[in-house]
């Protein structure tokens, strides 16, 4: 009987223990469910806030953009939170700026490294293309001079040189000239071929760069970014000013000093714009030697003052060519400024600024138009 009683006692203990385990599991499940529900509601609230902000700022709902705005709404990245808060306080955030924030605060190290390599490659191709263009021009000039030297030899017929002198010069010139002509011809063919290949490579890079936002040569935002941001500004009905700038006599600068000097001038002018960027401004390479700046919520009078300040800085620039020590200090730029209270078509705003820029050119360059406000 004791044995049976012992067994019954053991059974009762086991059952009680199992019940306790079940009760603990039920409580844990209920608690987990409650926590999960709370976490879900929290995530849903952050999602709603992020999407509302993206819609308000006209940001496409792509994964990269979403990661920026979710991190901002979640306050999980303090540096991003501070920078984006400042941007929103001064106006609204453009799609281009959102991409920059992703690159700066969210993108992995491998993504950043890849972008750096791509920019270095693009810059190298641009510089190499300019160098080959200049070398080709120099080769053509040398060939012209060589032909002129042959023409001078014909003057020996007038008796200005003795026969011995003529024969000596002729033999030497013919010997050297034939060799140089052959070398120049081969070199010219090689340069032409290399220039064609690099031109094709530049075209491929331009196709690849369509999804990028930055111009490789100047570090300014590119034309695609300008079109996107200008459209966003006009659609938002927010007031802004537009500065259009064109480097004066840029073709003459290239023809006189070479494309490398022209590229350096473009980079230096671009640096003046970049250093004048604020949270509510952005600068773009509009095309060729033209640069644009969009200034959110900035009156046209203030935009004109900024443009004139940049103009004065540009006219003081001096380019020093390391290889030759040559100094170039005649770089100037003309500016056109326009503004809108919002709602105008993008092309109308650009046209207004362009008209002021053309007027600055017509009046003698190196000035900002309108003259006064």
Residue in the structure block whose two tokens are 């138009």: 369
Write out the two tokens for 372: 């006064």
With a CB cutoff of 8 Å and minimum separation 6, the contacts of 127 are: 260, 263
Tally the residues of the chain.
Answer: 373
Three-state secondary structure along 205-248?
HHHHHHHCCECCCCCCECHHHHHHHHHHHHHCCCCEEEEEEEEC
Of 177, 211, 245, the domain-final residue: 211
Claim to verify: residue 229 and residue 297 sit in the same structural domain:
yes
Which residues have CB under 8 Å from 309's CB, separation 6+? Answer: 276
Does some domain include residue 327?
yes
For residues 79 and 103, give the distance between their C-alpha atoms in angstroms, rounded to a whole number. 13
Asked if 361 and 300 count as a contact pair (C-beta separation under 8 A), the reply is no
- Residue 184 is predicted with a pLDDT of 62
User: Residue 109: what pLDDT?
Assistant: 56
Answer for the pair 367, 340: CB distance below 8 angstroms, yes or no.
Answer: no
**pTM of the complete model:** 0.62
Place of tokens 């170039």: 328
The C-alpha atoms of residue 129 and residue 198 are separated, in whole angstroms, by 7
What's the domain count of the chain? 3
Q: What is the pLDDT of residues 206-253, one digit of tens each?
A: 665 555 788 888 999 999 999 999 988 888 888 999 999 999 999 999
Report the relative pairing of strands 333-340 and 240-247 from DSSP bridges: antiparallel
* 255 and 174 fall within a common domain: no
Contacts of 311 (CB under 8 A, 6+ apart): 332, 333, 334, 335, 366, 367, 368
**Last residue of some domain: 38, 73, 106?**
106
Burial string for 50-72 (b: 16+ CB within 10 Å, else e) reads bbebbeebbbeeeeebbbbbbbb
Report the run of H or E that residue 335 belongs to, with start and end: strand 333-340
As beta bridge partners, residue 369 has: 336
| Whether residue 233 sits in one domain with residue 328 | yes
pLDDT of amino acid 325 = 78
136 and 100 together in one domain: no
Supply the pLDDT for residue 21.
41
User: Exposed, middle or buried: residue 90 (CB in 10 Å: 0-12, 13-18, 19+)?
Assistant: middle
305 inside domain: yes
- Catalytic residue numbers? 289
Query: Residues 268, 351: one domain?
Result: yes
Which residue range forms the structural domain that includes residue 199?
A: 110-211
User: Encoding tokens for residue 359?
Assistant: 């007027």
Cα of 245 vs its chain's centroid, Å = 16
**Helix %, strand %, coil % for the chain, to 5?**
70, 10, 20
In angstroms, the CA 161 to CA 136 distance is: 35
Q: Is residue 166 part of a domain?
A: yes
Q: Are residues 95 and 118 in the same domain?
A: no
Looking at the structure, do residues 79 and 165 belong to the same domain, yes or no? no
pLDDT, position 41 = 82
Q: Are residues 147 and 229 in the same domain?
A: no
Inside any domain, residue 217: no
Q: Is 119 found in the same domain as 75?
A: no
pLDDT at position 117 is 54
289 and 191 part of one domain: no
Residue 321 lies in a domain: yes
Residue 216 is assigned to a structural domain of this protein: no
- The CATH number of the domain holding residue 251 is 3.30.70.270
pLDDT computed for residue 170 by the predictor: 66
Domain boundary residue among 211, 235, 259? 211
In this structure, the answer to whether residues 115 and 97 fall within a common structural domain is no
Is position 218 within any domain? no
* Alpha-carbon gap, residue 34 to 26, rounded angstroms: 12
The list of the chain residues with pLDDT below 50 reads: 1-24, 26-31
Residue 309 lies in a domain: yes
Q: How far apart are CA 245 and CA 331, in angstroms?
A: 13
Express each pLDDT in 116-153 by its tens digit.
Answer: 656 666 766 676 666 666 666 656 666 666 676 666 66
Whether residues 227 and 304 fall in one domain: yes
């Amino acid at each position: 009987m004791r044995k049976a009683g012992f067994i019954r006692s053991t059974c009762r203990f086991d059952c009680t223990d199992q019940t306790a385990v079940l009760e603990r599991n039920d409580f844990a499940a209920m608690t987990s469910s409650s926590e999960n529900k709370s976490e879900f509601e929290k995530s849903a609230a952050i999602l709603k806030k992020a999407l509302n902000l993206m819609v308000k700022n006209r940001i496409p709902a792509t994964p990269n953009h979403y990661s920026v705005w979710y991190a901002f709404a979640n306050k999980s990245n303090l540096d991003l939170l501070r920078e984006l808060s400042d941007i929103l306080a001064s106006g609204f955030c453009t799609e281009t700026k959102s991409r920059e924030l992703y690159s700066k605060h969210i993108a992995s190290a491998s993504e950043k490294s890849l972008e750096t390599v791509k920019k270095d490659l693009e810059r190298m191709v641009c510089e190499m293309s300019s160098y080959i263009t200049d070398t080709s021009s120099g080769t053509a000039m040398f060939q012209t001079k060589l032909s002129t030297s042959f023409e001078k030899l014909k003057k020996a017929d007038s008796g200005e040189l003795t026969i011995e002198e003529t024969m000596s010069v002729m033999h030497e010139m013919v010997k050297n000239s034939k060799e140089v002509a052959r070398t120049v011809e081969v070199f010219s063919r090689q340069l032409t071929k290399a220039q064609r290949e690099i031109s094709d490579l530049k075209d491929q890079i331009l196709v690849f760069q369509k999804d990028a936002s930055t111009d490789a040569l100047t570090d300014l935002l590119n034309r695609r970014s300008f079109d996107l941001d200008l459209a966003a500004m006009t659609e938002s009905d927010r007031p802004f000013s537009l500065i259009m700038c064109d480097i004066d006599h840029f073709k003459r600068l290239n023809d006189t000093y070479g494309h490398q000097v022209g590229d350096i001038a473009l980079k230096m002018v671009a640096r003046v714009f970049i250093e004048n960027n604020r949270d509510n401004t952005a600068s773009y390479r509009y095309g060729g030697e033209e640069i644009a700046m969009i200034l959110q919520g900035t009156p046209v009078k203030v935009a004109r003052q900024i443009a004139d300040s940049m103009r004065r800085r540009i006219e003081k620039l001096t380019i020093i060519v390391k290889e030759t020590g040559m100094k170039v200090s005649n770089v100037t730029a003309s500016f056109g400024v326009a503004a809108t209270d919002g709602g105008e078509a993008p092309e109308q705003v650009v046209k207004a600024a362009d008209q002021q820029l053309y007027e600055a050119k017509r009046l003698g360059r190196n000035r900002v138009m309108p003259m006064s406000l």
